[in-house]
Structure 1
Amino acid sequence: MSCACCAPPPVTARTAVLTRRIRLLVGVTIAYNVVEAVVALAAGAAASSTALIGFGLDSVIEVASATAVAWQFSGSDPAARERTALKAIAVSFFALAAYVTVESARSLLSGVPAEHSTVGVVLAAVSLAVMPGLSHAQRRAGRELGSASAVADSKQTLLCTYLSGVLLVGLLLNSLLGWYWADPVVALVIAAVAVKEGREAWRGDHCC
């Protein structure tokens, strides 16, 4: 269900174009995050990095969120599936927040720094460059189409951008200065933002 300010426009040629665009953007999001998850999880296991493993699992959650939007727009009446898609996206936000919180606490309490990971640094830098544009394009199309779920998923992608930045800074500070606590501390802030976004998605407050 879309909120009042996200009321969908009449079905027109433009609506069809925007629907196809969202499908394409969601497909790209899913494909990129599948690759990102595989690389991050492998690199995280090799370096014993909870931050990298958490980033990989975040990519899995992003795939779940994008899949919910893909499912919504695969039907003949996407608006009828909007509320269910929003609930799925909200759950993905909550799952991300829970995992980041637990792993950040474990990292802070253990005090054991991860090994340097060149692959992790490169992956975080690439994601930091790719994700903002992808999020902006999806948010713009979602707003014009009046789809609260597409807007919510774009915020999930934007949150991945923040996590990419946190991961990059954390990996560099850990490698260069031995500041193992930098990444989990900032990640806790990201977790708080994820909870906020999850609550908005659950209520359907992602207005355009």
Structure 2
Amino acid sequence: MLRRRIRLLVAATITYNAVEAIVAITAGTVASSIALIGFGLDSVIEISSAAAVAWQFAGPDHERRERTALRVIAWSFFALAGYVTVEALRTLVGGHEPERSEVGIVLVAVSVVVMPFLSWAQRRAGRELGSASAVADSKQTLVCTYLSAAVLTGLVLNAALGWWWADPLVALGLAAVAVREGREALRGRTCCPPVRPADEDGCGCAGGGCDS
């Protein structure tokens, strides 16, 4: 049942993020918003992360595939951080002002509401199964929640007050968080045993894995 639940959560994550990525990247390109484009790219990376977890649990021995899945998730974070950093700095140095994006504001506001619930469900299932990669994927979804809130702030400040520099600054903050989460994924351990239903503290893998 746990593996089936994780597969369903993965499918929901991929579907939602596919729509989110298309809308965000399109709206971000139209408005020249690096924060919104970065948000869309994060959705693409979320899809790759979820796909890595799906691949892991598609085989009979998912524990053997754990490390590869974690590496895919980690390097997805690093790729996002690199792109967003370069583009955000180019925007700040060039003084290019992004336009307002009402579509982007609505999209990101919806994500602020949806993503926390999806992340919680992923993390709970991953901890119960003792899967570090599933928990890492839930962290990526949680990062998307933080990103949503930050991007929403930047978009609103730009639209309401004309603070164009808030957009690339938010993007740089996203890059810093992405690097941190990528490092955590690389350090993720696969030694976590499945947690008992009554164990609210998660797995007992000290220093890493499911509970880090």
Q: Which residue of 2 aligns with 1:133?
A: 117
CA RMSD, Structure 1 to Structure 2 (Å): 1.2
Cα shift at 1:20: 0.7
Q: Which residue of 2 aligns with 1:106?
A: 90
Between the aligned partners of 2:32 and 2:178, the Cα distance in structure 1 is 25
Q: Which residue of 1 aligns with 2:67?
A: 83
Q: Which residue of 2 aligns with 1:207?
A: 210
Between the aligned partners of 2:36 and 2:6, the Cα distance in structure 1 is 29
Conserved in 1, the CA contact under 8 Å of 2:33 and 2:167?
A: no
Gaps of 5+ in 1: 1-16
Q: Which residue of 1 aligns with 2:196?
A: none
Between the aligned partners of 1:107 and 1:191, the Cα distance in structure 2 is 15
Q: What amino acid sits opposite 1:53 in the alignment?
A: I
Q: Which residue of 2 aligns with 1:66?
A: 50
Q: What amino acid sits opposite 1:172 in the alignment?
A: V
CA distances 1:70-89 after superposition (whole Å, capped 9, x unpaired): 10011111111111101111
Cα shift at 1:118: 0.9
Does 1:152 find its partner at 2:136? yes
CA distances 1:85-136 after superposition (whole Å, capped 9, x unpaired): 0111111111111122112212211222211111100000011111111001
| Overall identity of the aligned pairs, in % | 70
Between the aligned partners of 1:186 and 1:167, the Cα distance in structure 2 is 6
Q: Looking at both structures, which has the greater relative contact order when contacts are Cα pairs under 8 Å and sequence separation is at least 6?
A: 1
Output aligned runs, 1:150-189, within 5 Å: 150-189=134-173
Gaps of 5+ in 2: 189-207
Conserved in 1, the CA contact under 8 Å of 2:35 and 2:167?
A: yes
Relative to the length of structure 2, the TM-score reads 0.86
Cα shift at 1:193: 2.0
Does 1:92 find its partner at 2:76? yes
Between the aligned partners of 2:96 and 2:113, the Cα distance in structure 1 is 29
Conserved in 2, the CA contact under 8 Å of 1:54 and 1:103?
A: no
Relative to the length of structure 1, the TM-score reads 0.88
Equivalent position SS for 1:207:
helix
**For 1:47, which of 31, 55, 62 is the aligned residue?**
31
Which stretch has the larger CA shift, 84-93 or 47-56? Answer: 47-56
Question: In the comparison of the two structures, how many residue pairs are matched?
Answer: 192
Conserved in 2, the CA contact under 8 Å of 1:93 and 1:195?
A: yes
**For 2:177, which of 193, 197, 201 is the aligned residue?**
193
Cα shift at 1:183: 2.8
Between the aligned partners of 2:169 and 2:99, the Cα distance in structure 1 is 18
Cα shift at 1:178: 1.1
